[in-house]
Every structure is written in C-alpha cells, then in structure tokens.
C-alpha cells in the first residue's frame, strides 16, 4: 500500500530527529563515550546545548554554523547528516509504502549512515553497533517474513547474508590491507536486507560496492599523486551500493527482462 502524504511528512520529521541523534552516535561511539549522558554539548567549550539551539538543520542556519557560547565553528556535516537522513527516510517510505518491511529498511538507512561515517572517520566498524544490528534486523524483518505466503523470501535473505559473508571473508583473507573483518560483518548485515529484496539486488550490491571502492581508490591515488594502492574505507562504498540497489534493482531487472522478451 502506498504511504499516505501525512505519513511521509511525519517520517521526514522523524528523519531529522534521528539524524541529530546519529551525529551523537558517530562522534561518541569511536571515543567510547556514552550516547545518553551527558546531554548534547559543544565539543570545544563543553557548554550544554539548549533545546532551542538543538533543532535539526534550523539551529545550525540560525546560529550561522557557530556555537552560541564560544562561537567556534560547527561542522557543516551536522546539518547535512540531519537533512540527508530525513531525505533517505522519505525515499525509503515512498519505496516500500505502508508495509511490514518499512521499519526494517528505515533501520538499515539509519545504521548504514552511522557505520559509513564512523568507518570514514576512524577506519573501523564497532562491534557494539554491527553485531546487535543483526538481532534488531532479524526482529524487524520477522513480521514481514511471517506474513509472506512463501518461505522463499526468508530463505533468500539468509542466503544473501551468507553469500556476502563468504565473499567478503574471502576478500579480507586475500587482501588483509584492503578489507577488515569489520567489513565482513557489515557485508553479512547488508546481504540480509538485499537478499530479502532479490538476488539481483544482492548482485548489484556486491559488484557495485567493489566498483565504487576501486574508483575511489583510483581517485585518491590520482589526487594525491601516489604510486601505490591506498586502502579506501569499504563501509561507505558497501552502504552506498546497498542503498542504491534498494531503489534501482527492481527497475533494472524489469528493463533487462523486457530486452529478453523482445
């Protein structure tokens, strides 16, 4: 069932709030700080941020990207993450509509943003986020699996998880300087979601992530005038390819099938 406009608007507002929380997670988890306490504060002067200065996107614009207390610059990434999360949540809601799968894929969008940014910042993927996400994802997908008339969807999801785990484990073993076992665990999580959709979505994610990583590596070498391979954080590539596949795999499969029937 297509999502009604009020729900889409509500999800957009929820995305802004979630994006604000994701900024906290991205900053604190690599530093092994609590994401609950203390409350939001300026990382430079440690002054607690007042509620009226903590409105997603709007507060950054009103304050002109500076802390209200110490006037230190606030990174542009904060409002971009908030706005980007809102747009992604809206796109996912339009894509899945009012279905049992919607909460699961909204979760994938949120946790994907967190892991992509953490990997970009510190080149590692915390088990404290990745491993519990397997449990959360299975619980969120369980109602949709129970509602399905066939076990094929559930079987394909588990098969997708296993397939990407095996593929990226082999790659990590062959190229330990390029991939980590954190990437392997993330690949299994992404494989669960994309396998749920279709084999074509899973294939596009696997190939697309490696292609994006290769192109990014070439770009880094070209811009830095380097003469050797430079490791690229894989999580942003894997998440980007997975999210893209969520939206384009079905249309591409339909288009390809139409070519075969001409």
Judgement on whether residues 131 and 87 belong to the same structural domain of the protein: no
Instruction: Give pTM, 2 decimals.
Output: 0.91
Cβ-based neighbours of 40, under 8 Å, separated by 6 or more: 24, 48, 49, 54
Report the distance separating Cα 247 and Cα 55, nearest Å: 30
Judgement on whether residues 126 and 76 belong to the same structural domain of the protein: no
Domain boundary among 98, 123, 144: 98
Judgement on whether residues 4 and 109 belong to the same structural domain of the protein: no
Greatest mean pLDDT range, 64-73, 131-140, 209-218: 131-140
**pLDDT tens for each residue of 121-139:** 999 999 999 999 999 999 9
211 is in which domain, residue-wise? 101-262
Judgement on whether residues 138 and 242 belong to the same structural domain of the protein: yes
Judgement on whether residues 72 and 128 belong to the same structural domain of the protein: no
Report the distance separating Cα 218 and Cα 42, nearest Å: 37
Judgement on whether residues 94 and 177 belong to the same structural domain of the protein: no
Mean pLDDT of 164-188: 91
Judgement on whether residues 110 and 198 belong to the same structural domain of the protein: yes
- Total of domains in the chain: 2
Judgement on whether residues 130 and 51 belong to the same structural domain of the protein: no
Judgement on whether residues 59 and 118 belong to the same structural domain of the protein: no
Domain boundary among 44, 76, 98: 98
SS3 letters across 31-90:
HCCCCCCCCCECCCCCCECCHHHCCCCHHHHHCCCECCCCCCECCCHHHHHHHHHHHHHH
pLDDT in the model for residue 207: 94
pLDDT in the model for residue 43: 79
The CA–CA distances, whole Å, from 224 to 140, 144, 172, 228 equal 43, 47, 25, 11
Judgement on whether residues 141 and 231 belong to the same structural domain of the protein: yes
Judgement on whether residues 184 and 92 belong to the same structural domain of the protein: no
pLDDT of 253 over the 80 cut: no
Q: Are 195 and 160 in contact (CB under 8 A)?
A: yes
Judgement on whether residues 89 and 78 belong to the same structural domain of the protein: yes
Domain boundary among 98, 132, 155: 98
pLDDT in the model for residue 61: 92
């Amino acid at each position: 069932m297509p999502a009604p406009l009020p729900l889409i608007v509500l999800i957009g507002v929820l995305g802004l709030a979630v994006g604000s929380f994701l900024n906290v997670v991205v900053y604190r988890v690599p530093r092994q700080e609590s994401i609950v306490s203390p409350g939001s504060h300026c990382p430079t002067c440690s002054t607690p941020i007042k509620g009226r200065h903590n409105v997603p996107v709007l507060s950054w614009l009103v304050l002109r990207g500076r802390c209200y207390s110490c006037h230190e610059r606030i990174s542009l990434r904060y409002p971009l993450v908030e706005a980007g999360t809102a747009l992604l949540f809206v796109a996912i809601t339009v894509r899945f509509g009012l279905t049992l799968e919607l909460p699961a894929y909204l979760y994938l969008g949120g946790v994907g943003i967190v892991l992509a940014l953490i990997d970009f910042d510190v080149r590692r993927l915390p088990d404290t986020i990745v491993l519990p996400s397997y449990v959360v994802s299975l619980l969120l997908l369980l109602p949709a699996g129970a509602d399905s008339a066939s076990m094929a969807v559930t079987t394909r999801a588990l098969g997708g998880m296993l397939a990407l785990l095996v593929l990226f484990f082999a790659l990590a073993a062959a190229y330990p300087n390029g991939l980590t076992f954190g990437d392997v665990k993330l690949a299994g999580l992404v494989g669960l979601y994309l396998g749920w959709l279709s084999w074509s979505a899973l294939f596009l994610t696997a190939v697309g992530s490696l292609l994006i990583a290769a192109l990014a590596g070439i770009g880094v070498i070209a811009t830095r005038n380097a003469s050797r391979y430079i490791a690229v954080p894989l999580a942003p590539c894997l998440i980007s390819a997975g999210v893209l596949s969520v939206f384009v795999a079905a249309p591409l499969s339909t288009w390809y099938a139409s070519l075969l029937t001409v």
